[in-house]
Amino acid sequence: MTVISVLLILSCLLLLGSSRLHVAIRVVAAQGLLLGVLPIVRSAENLHVAILILGLSTIVSKGILLPWLMNTCLRLSGIRREIEPFVGFGPSLLCGTALLGLAVWIAVRLQLPQVPLILLTSSFFAILVGLFLMVTRRKAITQSLAYLVMENGVYGVGISMSLDFPFLVELGILLDVFVGVFLMGNLLFHLDREFEHLDADKLTELSDLSEPAPAGEERV
């Protein structure tokens, strides 16, 4: 379990530091696989069918289906990398250190006995990194990836809290996320077709006026 937690933290750091989008998608897919294995490892002694199904469905949805969807999106839009995020990749990593500290603080502060602290820490870290990426990256694809990372964190927290978490609820959440990302993918595709870019930052400039405001001019 420690190994999975460490890999989870490392994958989040990789996301903070890499600019290539297909790498980011692969990393998120790997996270999905890790999280799928997690409940199975966690209850290795009394493994029952429900947990096995939960693990397998996580692997299929988060490790295979969603990354495939994002990849399709990426291919259709023809973007390769995140250029000029609001916070650069080096500073992002530094912020990652701070977030890691914050995650440790939260996990220790919660004082939950019987919860593996390292797993709790890494899950909180995933949530924080997801939030951070969502705020600091420009491309809509990265932002939806960040949403997935955050959801992975939430899932991790759920698993670390208790394994008897109603398994139907967990499956329901998976379905929700799937639909959410499906919609996002659709949206991205249409965005890309309409505006020929996926820069979410530029959405603020949408208007019916035919001429875009010249660069440098202050908008009222």
Partner 1 sequence: MKIMPWALPLAAWILAPLMLGIINRVKAFFAGRRGPSVWQLYYDLFKLLRKASVYSRSTSPVIRVGPAVVLACMILATLLLPWGGLAAPTTFTGDIILLAYLLGLARFATVLAALDTGSSFEGMGASREVQFAALAEPSFFLGMLVLVLHFGFSGLSNMVAGISLETWQTSGVLLILVACSWFVLLLAENCRIPVDDPNTHLELTMIHEVMVLDYGGPDLAYVLYAASLKMWIFAALVVNLLVPMRSLAPWLQAPVFLAGIVLVMVLVGIVESIVARLRLQQVPKILIGSALLSLIALIVRLVG
Give Cβ neighbours of residue 45 (< 8 Å, ≥ 6 apart).
none
Residue number, 17 or 166, with CB nearest to partner 1 = 17
Residue 107 binding partner 1, by CB under 8 A: yes
Stretch that binds partner 1, among 29-37, 45-53, 115-123, 170-178 (CB under 8 A): 115-123
End-to-end CA distance of the chain: 54
Residue holding tokens 């939806």? 144
Size of the site for partner 1 (CB under 8 A): 22
Q: How far apart are CA 89 and CA 19, in angstroms?
A: 8
Residue 3 binding partner 1, by CB under 8 A: yes
Binders of partner 1 in range 64-103 (CB under 8 A): 89-90, 93-94, 96-97, 100
* Among the listed residues 61, 77, 121, 123, the single contact to partner 1 using CB under 8 A: 121
Residue 13 binding partner 1, by CB under 8 A: yes
Residue of 43, 36, 37, 14 lying closest to 27 (CA atoms) = 14
Residue number, 5 or 43, with CB nearest to partner 1 = 5
Task: Report how far apart, in Å, the C-alpha atoms of 43 and of each of 8, 68, 187 are.
Answer: 19, 29, 39
Could you say which DSSP state residue 44 is in? S
> b/e for 34-59, b at 16 or more Cβ within 10 A?
bbbbbbbebbeeeeeebbeebbebbb
* Among the listed residues 34, 118, 126, 141, the single contact to partner 1 using CB under 8 A: 118
Q: How far apart are CA 99 and CA 92, in angstroms?
A: 10
Residue 5 binding partner 1, by CB under 8 A: yes
Residue 159 binding partner 1, by CB under 8 A: no
CB of 14 to partner 1, least distance (A): 9
CB of 34 to partner 1, least distance (A): 14
> Please, how many CA atoms are within 13 Å of residue 21, restricted to the half-sphere of its CB?
25
Q: How far apart are CA 17 and CA 12, in angstroms?
A: 9
Residue 17 binding partner 1, by CB under 8 A: yes
Residue 203 binding partner 1, by CB under 8 A: no
Residue number, 1 or 50, with CB nearest to partner 1 = 1
List interacting residues with partner 1 (CB under 8 A). 2-3, 5-6, 9-10, 13, 17, 89-90, 93-94, 96-97, 100, 104, 107-108, 116-118, 121
